[in-house]
Structure 1
Amino acid sequence: MSRGWSDTELARRVAAELPDGACVNLGIGLPTAVAGHLPAGVDVLLHSENGIIGMGPDPLPGQADPDIVNAGKKPVTLVRGAAIVHQADSFSLIRGGRLDYSILGALQVSAGGDLANWRVPGAKGVGGVGGAMDLAVGAKKVLVMMRQTGKDGQPKLVSECSFPLTAPRCVSTVFTDLGVIDCTHEGFVVRELAPGVTESDMRAAVSGPVQIRLQ
């Protein structure tokens, strides 16, 4: 048996965390896959910061509409009753505290819930934090969805972020290919391990205080 969740399985696990009636922003990258894995019977309103309220899953092959894209310019669909709004109105929704959840990718998350997801020091290009800073502080709860280690094998869960911060102490829970980890005042608390992942595997992939409290 393979160790951990695939990207598809991870998207399904994150989707299962969302309660009926929630208003949820899906960030660029891995989080966009959540749209295609919402449980049957659960009504979740998906938001994209470029102005979509009522975003659906990816279009079927050959059915993409070039005028309907998410914030990462990836083709998406609209659910029945969806609205297309000005980006200023979209950010009013975010800054007004109307988002229940924001699901973001990350480069690093600290044990205290600090988020760094926009720039790797020394990388080419300046880049910009964009709307992530609004999403990180405007949502009632921030979830991070990412692979637990980088391409270099280094843990992304760290005692203190060494990359530029997007926002401090904003992350509630991190979902990775290895498990589900809450950010608490005690540090990282693992509440679920993905299939095939041992406690030793998890500890080896965290650079920071971590406790295992499986539920």
Structure 2
Amino acid sequence: MGMEVDVRNQMAKRAAEEIQNGMVVNLGIGIPSLVPNHLSKETMVMFHAENGITGMGPSPAKGEEDENLCNAGGFPVTLNMGGSYCDSAIAFGMIRRGRVDITILGSLQVSQYGDLANWIVPGKKVPGMGGAMELAQKAKKVIVVMNHCDKHGNPKIVPSCTLPLTSARCVDLLVTDLAVFRVSEDGLLLTELFSPFNLEYVVNKTGCEFKISKTVRNIPY
């Protein structure tokens, strides 16, 4: 279990590198919620939640939770100095006006052209699409953090999504437990590898073709 948590934090740490001072950042549930743990204390960020918070702080200590203060996933959060509340209509208005600099989301599938399918597996009970559709379309940068393969070993990076789309051609950066890809109109470009994985291994685990950067950064485990 410890190994799995380390992998999740490794992915979150890499996603956190994209965040710069002064940004408004929206985090999805799951691995993206670990991103704040990997920001330096000097990086001032306003974390935004669709249910109406801008300026979320770290998770509260056990016993310190406020039952009225949670993120869009329903998990308890805190509020940083200078943070504010609004209703969800205003929170979505911020997204739709393009006021969110980065959204970091999990996904079920990503296509080679950056299509995102992250809201439903047909036949399974789900709460609904949530804010993912608006965030994927309107955030200035869309980062997906997900495992390279599903629990059955099938590639989650595919030529075209077989699951219902959340949004087409919206992903800018894809971070998996194996590698990092930048997404452009031409498709995927592998730019980084996590140790100890090599290119051959990643090619075998990926369901579509991709280009390889002239210089590939190796990220030690």
- So what's the TM-score if we normalise by structure 1? 0.93
Larger RCO, structures 1/2 (Cα 8 Å, 6+ apart): 1
- 1:119-134 to 2 correspondences below 5 Å: 119-121=120-122, 123-125=123-125, 127-134=127-134
- d(CA) in 1 for partners of 2:57, 2:36: 6
Instruction: Write the letter of the residue equivalent to 2:151.
Output: K
Q: Indicate the residue corresponding to 2:147 in structure 1.
A: 147
1:69 equivalent to 2:74? Answer no
- d(CA) in 1 for partners of 2:72, 2:172: 23
- d(CA) in 2 for partners of 1:101, 1:195: 26
Q: Indicate the residue corresponding to 1:107 in structure 2.
A: 108
Q: Indicate the residue corresponding to 2:88 in structure 1.
A: 87
- d(CA) in 1 for partners of 2:118, 2:48: 19
**1:134-176 CA-partner distances (Å, limit 9, x unpaired):** 1111101111011111111111111100100000000001111
Instruction: Write the letter of the residue equivalent to 2:146.
Output: M
Structure 1: gaps (5+ residues): none
Q: Is the 8 A contact 2:27 2:49 kept in 1?
A: yes
Q: Indicate the residue corresponding to 2:210 in structure 1.
A: 210
1:17 equivalent to 2:24? Answer no
1:26 equivalent to 2:17? Answer no
- d(CA) in 2 for partners of 1:132, 1:185: 21
**1:31-80 CA-partner distances (Å, limit 9, x unpaired):** 11112221231111110111110011211222222211111101111111
RMSD: 1.6
- d(CA) in 2 for partners of 1:193, 1:91: 35
Q: Which aligned segments of 4 or more residues in structure 1 are displaced greater than 6 angstroms? A: none
- 1:26-65 to 2 correspondences below 5 Å: 26-65=27-66
Q: Is the 8 A contact 1:119 1:127 kept in 2?
A: no
Q: Percent identity?
A: 44
**1:157-209 CA-partner distances (Å, limit 9, x unpaired):** 11100100000000001111112111122321111111211111211221111
1:200 equivalent to 2:196? Answer no
What SS does structure 1 have at the residue aligned with 2:172?
strand
- So what's the TM-score if we normalise by structure 2? 0.91
Q: Is the 8 A contact 1:111 1:184 kept in 2?
A: no
Q: How many matched pairs?
A: 212
- 1:134-213 to 2 correspondences below 5 Å: 134-213=134-213
